[in-house]
Amino acid sequence: MPEASSLSTAALSRRTFLGSAGVLTATAMLLTACGDDPVKPATGTPGLELGSGDAGLLSYVFLLKRFATGFYQAALTTPAADLTAADLAILRDVNRHEIIHREMLVQVFQKNSLVDAPTIGLLQGVAFTYPTATFTITTRQGVLAGARLIEDLSVAALAGTAKLVTSSVVYFPLLMKMLAVDSRHAATMRDLVQPGSFAGPDAVASTGSQAGLNQILTPAAALTELNKYTNGVILTGNSLPTT
């Protein structure tokens, strides 16, 4: 059936082209000044526009993982004196898991040619800040509260992202495997801050039609949260899928 095979070849080429275009968008969109376009940062504000499709979504998850690992690195370099041995064992485990998630995404980017090297460089260049008002790494309670914020954010973000991925047999299962472990992290951090708060009403609705469901954040909402900690670099995901 020559028609059928040429049709599928054409369809494949088009998909491949679109995939590449999404990556190129990320590369080309390191913004330094953006005039009057309302969706872009104000003039003079540096920004990073994520790509489209699965590449854009995984790039965004990669930034979440960099945000997490940067915090744990800071908190564990000279740990707060009142962290117990049990606390530290837990925090070190979580740090390793987050590093492994981060590095797994780098492998996927490189080996699947999903995100090109310059774009990975841009993503790795985003410098996160951990303002002391939110992230007090000199006390047990401060470290654990910071970790709780980061893990709850990660869970809500991944829960809102996984369904947007088109790769139902590769990237979707990968994100779910991470989501489960991040949920375990979040619950543990919450229990460390306040025993029994593993699924507290600020993370899991306890009444109404959403009772028993974890909160979710769309990529746009999670990026807004991340932008509080990017030292002025505005992350945008205007090409990310929304449905």
Partner 1 sequence: MDLFKIISDIEKVDPEVYERFDTRRRAFKHLTGLGQKLTAAALPGLVGALFNKAYGQGTGSLPADVVAVLNLALQLEYLEYNFYNAGLNTPGLIPASEVAAITTIRNDEAGHIKVLRQALGNQAFSQSDVPVTAFDYTGQGSFPDWNTNTAKYFGVAQSFVDTGVRAYKGGAPILINNKDILQAALNIHSVEARHSSHIRTVRRALASNAVGTIVAADPNDLNNKPKSWISGQDNGGAAPNATPVNTRPVYAAGGVVTVGSTPLPSPAEDNLMHAQFNAQTGSTAPTGLTITPAAASEAFDEPLDAATVKTIARNFRSAAGAALGLFNP
Q: Which segment (23-31, 45-53, 129-137, 164-172) binds partner 1 by CB under 8 A?
A: 164-172
Helix (H, G, I), strand (E, B) or coil at 200: coil
**Please, what is the minimum distance in Å from the beta carbon of residue 16 to partner 1?**
19
Q: Rule CB under 8 A: is residue 199 a binding residue for partner 1?
A: yes
Distance of alpha carbon 124 from alpha carbon 215, whole angstroms: 28
Q: Whole-angstrom Cα distance, residue 215 to residue 159?
A: 8
- Buried b or exposed e, range 193-225, using 16+ CB within 10 angstroms: beeebbbbeebbeeeeeeeeebbbbbbeebbee
Q: Does 214 bind partner 1 (CB under 8 A)?
A: yes
Distance CA 212, CA 231 (A): 36
Is residue 14 at the binding interface for partner 1, with CB under 8 A as the rule?
no
Query: How many other β-carbons are positioned within 10 Å of the β-carbon of residue 15?
Result: 12
**In this complex, which beta carbon is closest to partner 1, that of residue 2 or of residue 195?**
195
Nearer to partner 1, 46 or 172 (CB): 172
| Residue 155 makes contact with partner 1 by CB under 8 A | yes
Residues 64-83 that bind partner 1 (CB under 8 A): 73
**Alpha carbon distance 53, 28 (integer Å):** 16
User: Which two three-digit tokens encode residue 109?
Assistant: 């980017």
Residue 51 in contact with residue 114, Cβ under 8 Å? no
CB 57 within 8 A of CB 243: no
168 binds partner 1 (CB under 8 A): yes
Across the beta sheet with 234-236, the strand order is 30-31, 47-49, 234-236
Using CB under 8 A as the binding rule, whether residue 35 contacts partner 1 is answered as no
Looking up tokens 């593993």 gives 198
Candidate residues 10, 180, 228, 232; the one interacting with partner 1 per rule CB under 8 A? 180
Least Å from the CB of residue 64 to partner 1: 14
Q: Which is closer to partner 1, CB of 174 or CB of 233?
A: 174
State the number of binding residues for partner 1 (CB under 8 A).
61
- Asked if 53 and 212 count as a contact pair (C-beta separation under 8 A), the reply is no
Which stretch in 2-10, 13-21, 125-133, 153-161 sits in contact with partner 1 by CB under 8 A? 153-161
Q: Which stretch binds partner 1 (CB under 8 A): 20-28, 37-45, 166-174, 227-235?
A: 166-174
**Contact (CB, 8 A) for 48 and 29:** yes
Among 205, 220, 224, 225, binds partner 1 (CB under 8 A): 205
Which positions lie near partner 1, rule CB under 8 A?
A: 73, 84-87, 89-90, 93, 96-97, 99-101, 103-104, 106-108, 111-112, 155, 159-160, 162-163, 168-174, 176-181, 183-188, 191-192, 195-196, 198-199, 203-206, 210-214, 216, 243
